[in-house]
């Protein structure tokens, strides 16, 4: 979990600042004030629900009870592969907007009191496009953040390794198929590794913020790996080089976490 919580940092910095003002005089106040503003904005940009949930657990939460969960690592934890600025903007602006817009879209919906996130996904065709886009965006990004690690297990092991080899021939063959799905997705969307109703793995791609749970996709399943190929996920560092971003993805995905999802899916 992150160590840069706003409530632990702010008092120390403010105490230090006012101590310096007392020592050096009020002429330093404008400079110190600006420093405090910059530091506080950086800290408060990640103030979220501190009780993070893993990918699958939020699916059973009622829509009205959903939280904007804390990023499970600092913004710079995935460097040099994924840069700090892109991570901060992606999480605190784009992901937050999906959450806020979903809450706004569903607040007057009578179903939201009893409807779970997984129920919403599986019946998304019954809801307006705004609910589909923002509900998908909320879940997709939550899964995306939670399969990464600063010190990832770099290769699948155990049952997941065997399943990948059974369905795709080898891990390298799987990577090629997954990368192709990600690189050839026209416009914005996602590529997925999912588990179908028979427990078999498959690779697919969806547009916009759709995901394999939804009843509008070509093939439904339980997603255990997803890569965001919207430009906001990579443009600051990789510009238009989506293939390079997709190749870099393998450096931060934690296969131990993916294996946990695979086991839960069965």
Please write the tens of the pLDDT for every residue from 153-171: 999 999 999 999 999 999 9
At residue 53, the pLDDT reads: 66
**Cα 210–235–53 angle (5° rounding)?**
50
107-143 pLDDT, tens digit each: 878 788 889 999 999 999 999 999 999 999 999 999 9
**What is the model's pTM?**
0.80
**What is the average per-residue pLDDT within 74-80?**
97
Q: Is residue 219 scored above 60 in pLDDT? A: yes
> CA-to-CA distance for 49 and 126, rounded, in angstroms?
29
pLDDT confidence bin for 34, thresholds 50/70/90: very low
Whether residue 160 has a cis bond before it, omega within 30° of 0: no
Band of the pLDDT at 16, cuts 50, 70, 90?
A: very low
Residue 48 pLDDT class (50, 70, 90 cuts): low
pLDDT of 258 > 80? The answer is yes
Note the pLDDT tens digit of each residue in 225-255.
999 999 999 999 999 999 999 999 999 999 9
- For the chain, the average pLDDT equals 84
Confidence at residue 109, expressed as pLDDT on a 0 to 100 scale: 80
Nearest to 92 by CA among 48, 154, 152: 48
The backbone torsions φ and ψ at residue 149, rounded to the nearest 5 degrees and listed phi first, read -155, 150
- Report DSSP state, residue 227: E
Cβ-contact 146, 59 below 8 angstroms: no
Position 57 scores a pLDDT of 86
Bigger pLDDT: 7 or 196? 196
pLDDT class of 46 with cuts at 50, 70, 90: very low
Which residues lie closer than 8 Å to 27 by C-beta, 6 or more apart? none
């Amino acid at each position: 979990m992150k160590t840069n919580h706003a409530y632990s940092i702010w008092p120390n910095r403010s105490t230090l600042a006012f101590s310096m003002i007392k020592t050096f005089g009020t002429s330093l106040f404008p400079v110190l004030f600006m420093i405090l503003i910059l530091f506080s904005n950086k800290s408060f940009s990640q103030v979220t629900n501190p009780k993070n949930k893993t990918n699958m657990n939020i699916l059973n939460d009622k829509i009205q009870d959903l939280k904007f969960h804390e990023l499970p690592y600092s913004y710079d934890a995935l460097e040099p592969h994924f840069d700090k600025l892109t991570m901060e903007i992606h999480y605190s602006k784009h992901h937050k907007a999906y959450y806020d817009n979903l809450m706004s879209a569903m607040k007057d919906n009578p179903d939201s009191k009893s409807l779970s996130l997984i129920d919403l996904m599986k019946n998304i065709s019954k809801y307006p496009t705004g609910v589909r886009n923002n509900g998908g965006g909320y879940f997709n990004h939550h899964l995306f953040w939670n399969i990464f690690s600063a010190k990832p297990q770099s290769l699948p092991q155990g049952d997941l390794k065997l399943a990948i080899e059974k369905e795709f021939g080898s891990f390298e063959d799987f990577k090629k198929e997954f990368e192709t799905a990600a690189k050839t997705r026209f416009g914005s969307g996602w590529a997925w590794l999912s588990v179908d109703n028979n427990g078999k793995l498959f690779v697919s791609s969806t547009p916009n913020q759709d995901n394999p749970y939804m009843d509008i996709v070509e093939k439904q399943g339980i997603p255990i790996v997803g890569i965001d190929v919207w430009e906001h996920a990579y443009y600051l560092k990789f510009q238009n080089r989506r293939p390079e971003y997709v190749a870099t993805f393998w450096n931060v995905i934690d296969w131990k976490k993916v294996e946990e999802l695979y086991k839960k899916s069965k």
